[in-house]
Structure 1
Amino acid sequence: MDYEFPENLRLMRDTARRFVKNELEPISQQVEEEGKMPESVVQKMREMGFFGLSIPEEYGGMGLGTLGECVMNEEFGKTNVCFRSRFGTNNGIGSQGILIDGTPEQKEKYLPRIASGEWTAAFALTEPNAGSDAASIQTKAERKGDVYLLNGMKHFITNGDIADVVTVMAVTDKTKGPRGVTAFIVEKTFPGYSVGKIDRKMGIHGNNTAEIVFEDCQVPAKNIIGLEEGRGFVTAMKVLEKGRITIAAVCVGVAQYCLDASIAYSKQRVQFKKPICANQAIQWMLADMAISIYTARQIVYHAAWCRDQKQRVTQQAAMVKVYCTEMVNRVVDSALQIHGGMGYMKESPIERIYRDMRLFRIFEGTSEVQRMVISRELLKD
């Protein structure tokens, strides 16, 4: 693995770093309090190409590999993570099913609009009775001539309230279990599609999750991803595997932000006539935070590199997801301890991060599910 990033990636990283520092971080608290981000900022992210980081250049994207996307995600972890969530589904779970398993016609129709940010993409797998047990989805799709009628409800869908196009998993043959699940490309304008309840969440307030309801929703048969029934569960697992690595990269960025903030605060906070960083207890907290971040960054970049080399990374992806999401929760907890009472106040970004990061051990595969995946891989004959 070459640890020297190509010049174009370094330039993109530096551009993202400046954008985060100058444009996003100054309004992080405002977005948190108002529960929405200014459309002008979203438009800037479109113009800078952030909605198409992982989409090939032939479809109008930047064509970054997994490692390149991780480098960018680390930078976007150094501010309110809702910003990354706004365009993250376009680069990840909302587009990857089409990119990985879609037909040339499906790619040509949808990917340019997703890459430009003209359309917001989402991914609809989770249901009230099918979270970690993704194979137990109940949304059904029944063929009627040239269309399928979808009936059911998805919930906790990131960007579900604003999505223009959604990759939807639905059962086409309940007798086949996971092999009876099919992936559909569903546009919000299709008859029978509606947005349900918008969730009130513990964190990530600048970006919504929502219910999506299908009531005899008419989806053309040509909108089955890959034009093949029964491949949806396989497609979903491919999509989630890549997402586990890129989410881990966000955690590295968040943890680095917390460490930097803790170092700065410990130097200027004076107690007992000396900065608190003079105390070994604080020094060791900082040291442990730095060790965890260094470890996390290496395994994320290595797993991303392996995926770019077309290696199978099922086990590595699960490892980085569980390690980095648990790591960032430990780091932000230490950061809050170092900041003391100030870290517990709403004015502190540490307070916001503490709440935001709790979700990362749950979504796109819980820590428990990751350990199941890892142990299954280890015990294979």
Structure 2
Amino acid sequence: MTASAPRTTSSWMTPELESLRDQFGRFLDAELKPHAARWRRQRMIDRSAWTALGGMGALGAAIPEEWGGSGGDVYQEMVLLDTINRRCSDLANGYSVHSGIVTHYVLTYGTEDQKRRWLPKLCSGEWIGAIAMTEPGGGSDLQALTTRGRRDGDDYVIDGQKTFITNGIAADLVLVAVRIDGTPGAKGISLIGVEKGAPGFQPGRPLEKIGLHAADTAELFFDGARAPVDNLLGGIEGRGFYQMMEQLPRERLILAIGAVAAMEHAVEITRAYVHERKAFGKTLFDFQTISFRLAELATEAHIARVFVDDCLVKLAENRLDNVTASMAKWWCSERQVQTVDACLQMFGGYGYIEETEIARMYTDARIQKIYGGANEIMKLLIARSL
């Protein structure tokens, strides 16, 4: 077999980060990936996997040690995210929401009491986190949300429904976007932490998706659900919409990083396959149609990596704006879907067999163009800036 193809080296990569990537990759290969087929069958990641990730220091990598995290930086966090997308992608969706999004909401906006109560459990894997924005009739239009909350003594009483919620069934803490007292527009929206077992809160059925089969995705129902007033994120009503808007660049970059990792991995496994698979007395790679197409895909993956690396540096320096993050999200997710489709074609009939990795990558990729803000919304945001 030929030597491995060269891998793009990010400008911010250090020997320490390379070591972290290798160590974490070996951990995933040995401890978690062997269970992935069962997770897909049961439509749920084992809770033991979350505690294993917590014990490895892979949850809340950029959360300060005083709150139970590893005290690292955004580069360490994104190395872990990139590695999990390559080496054990069945974990990637739930992991991204829990560690990449929920913990950062709590760290950035939570009161001292909320950080003390929630972050250590989230970072250890004792608790699983989710964020509930999307509603059955709302889609990407967050200002139109109808889930209502009202103050009743020391509690908020919440009524409404959320859907497509990652980690929805397993979650011990859900940050729920709620409209307080019917106040219209962005100013009426707050985020309230609803904990598992809260009266009136009930996860619905797991949603049967065409991909991401290991990811727990659910509807959530709030029928007079009660959450303590102390669970209002940040302690000030009406800040929820602005909190969500401020976090969108990070969230969209997380999706772009996952897309690039998938593109690169698809090219890697396809390259290995076409060098070994023979037809008409030659390897598939010997056919110019195959080698040229693979060259195009490798080039596009390289371009995507350079773009995402630039965005990551901007995020680390607090310079990543929503327009640039929207560009990264839509372009990389579109290219991910196209790349995996082209790679599957090179596998022929084997690419259509569900047990093959490229087939799972194909069905898993499609949602990337929808969640985190549909790509049509990304283009609208970009167009408004022109």
Structure 1 residue matching 2:253: 3-state secondary structure: helix
- For 1:215, the aligned partner's letter is D
Q: Are 1:50 and 1:87, in contact at CA under 8 Å, matched by a contact in 2?
A: no
Question: Counterparts of 2:56 and 2:306 in 1: how far apart (Å)?
Answer: 28
**Counterpart pick for 2:299 among 276, 291, 301:** 291
User: Structure 1 residue 11: deviation in Å?
Assistant: 2.1
Name the residue aligned to 1:321: 329
Name the residue aligned to 2:277: 269
Q: Are 1:67 and 1:301, in contact at CA under 8 Å, matched by a contact in 2?
A: no
2:102 corresponds to 1:94 = yes
Question: Counterparts of 2:38 and 2:158 in 1: how far apart (Å)?
Answer: 39
Q: Are 2:11 and 2:309, in contact at CA under 8 Å, matched by a contact in 1?
A: no
Name the residue aligned to 2:53: 45
Structure 2 residue matching 1:176: 3-state secondary structure: coil
User: Structure 1 residue 262: deviation in Å?
Assistant: 0.7
2:302 corresponds to 1:303 = no
Structure 1 residue matching 2:160: 3-state secondary structure: strand
2:260 corresponds to 1:257 = no
**Counterpart pick for 1:32 among 34, 40, 45:** 40
Name the residue aligned to 1:198: 206
Name the residue aligned to 2:63: 55
Question: Counterparts of 2:296 and 2:78 in 1: how far apart (Å)?
Answer: 23
- For 2:199, the aligned partner's letter is P
Q: Are 1:66 and 1:246, in contact at CA under 8 Å, matched by a contact in 2?
A: no
User: Structure 1 residue 313: deviation in Å?
Assistant: 1.8
Q: In structure 2, do the counterparts of structure 1 residues 261 and 6 end up closer, same or farther at CA, with 3 Å as the change threshold?
A: closer
Name the residue aligned to 1:241: 249
- For 2:344, the aligned partner's letter is L
User: Structure 1 residue 38: deviation in Å?
Assistant: 4.5
User: Structure 1 residue 30: deviation in Å?
Assistant: 4.4
User: Structure 1 residue 41: deviation in Å?
Assistant: 3.7
Name the residue aligned to 2:230: 222
- For 1:374, the aligned partner's letter is I
Question: Counterparts of 1:227 and 1:38 in 2: how far apart (Å)?
Answer: 33
TM-score (norm 1): 0.94
Structure 2 residue matching 1:155: 3-state secondary structure: strand
Question: Counterparts of 1:33 and 1:160 in 2: how far apart (Å)?
Answer: 17
The percent identity for this pair of structures is 33
User: Structure 1 residue 132: deviation in Å?
Assistant: 0.9
Moved more, 169-178 or 21-30: 21-30
What RMSD in Å do the two structures reach over aligned CA positions?
1.8
Question: Counterparts of 1:227 and 1:311 in 2: how far apart (Å)?
Answer: 27
Structure 1 residue matching 2:101: 3-state secondary structure: coil
User: Structure 1 residue 24: deviation in Å?
Assistant: 4.0
Structure 2 residue matching 1:160: 3-state secondary structure: coil
Q: Are 2:169 and 2:206, in contact at CA under 8 Å, matched by a contact in 1?
A: yes
Question: Counterparts of 1:208 and 1:91 in 2: how far apart (Å)?
Answer: 15
Structure 1 residue matching 2:102: 3-state secondary structure: coil
Q: Deviations over 1:46-86 (max 9, x none)?
A: 21122222322221212343333222222111144221233
Moved more, 99-108 or 145-154: 99-108
Q: Are 2:25 and 2:87, in contact at CA under 8 Å, matched by a contact in 1?
A: no
Question: Counterparts of 2:87 and 2:38 in 1: how far apart (Å)?
Answer: 12
Name the residue aligned to 1:161: 169
- For 2:63, the aligned partner's letter is I
Q: Are 1:70 and 1:245, in contact at CA under 8 Å, matched by a contact in 2?
A: no
Q: In structure 2, do the counterparts of structure 1 residues 221 and 51 end up closer, same or farther at CA, with 3 Å as the change threshold?
A: same
User: Structure 1 residue 23: deviation in Å?
Assistant: 3.6
- For 2:175, the aligned partner's letter is T
Q: Are 2:52 and 2:125, in contact at CA under 8 Å, matched by a contact in 1?
A: no
- For 1:160, the aligned partner's letter is G
Structure 2 residue matching 1:290: 3-state secondary structure: helix
Q: Are 1:94 and 1:122, in contact at CA under 8 Å, matched by a contact in 2?
A: yes
Question: Counterparts of 2:376 and 2:74 in 1: how far apart (Å)?
Answer: 24
Structure 1 residue matching 2:204: 3-state secondary structure: strand
User: Structure 1 residue 117: deviation in Å?
Assistant: 0.9
Moved more, 192-201 or 7-16: 7-16
Moved more, 33-42 or 80-89: 33-42
2:341 corresponds to 1:338 = no
Q: In structure 2, do the counterparts of structure 1 residues 12 and 264 end up closer, same or farther at CA, with 3 Å as the change threshold?
A: same
Q: Are 1:24 and 1:79, in contact at CA under 8 Å, matched by a contact in 2?
A: no
Structure 2 residue matching 1:219: 3-state secondary structure: strand
Question: Counterparts of 2:378 and 2:175 in 1: how far apart (Å)?
Answer: 23
User: Structure 1 residue 232: deviation in Å?
Assistant: 0.6
Give runs of aligned pairs for residues 64-213 of structure 1, distance below 5 A. Answer: 64-213=72-221
Question: Counterparts of 2:34 and 2:293 in 1: how far apart (Å)?
Answer: 28
Gaps of 5+ in 1: none
Q: Deviations over 1:251-305 (max 9, x none)?
A: 1221121111111111111111110101111111111111111111111121111
Question: Counterparts of 1:143 and 1:364 in 2: how far apart (Å)?
Answer: 30
Q: Are 1:128 and 1:154, in contact at CA under 8 Å, matched by a contact in 2?
A: yes
Structure 2 residue matching 1:51: 3-state secondary structure: coil
Moved more, 366-375 or 80-89: 80-89
Question: Counterparts of 1:99 and 1:310 in 2: how far apart (Å)?
Answer: 16
Q: In structure 2, do the counterparts of structure 1 residues 173 and 241 end up closer, same or farther at CA, with 3 Å as the change threshold?
A: farther
- For 2:310, the aligned partner's letter is H
Question: Counterparts of 1:230 and 1:21 in 2: how far apart (Å)?
Answer: 44
Aligned length: 377
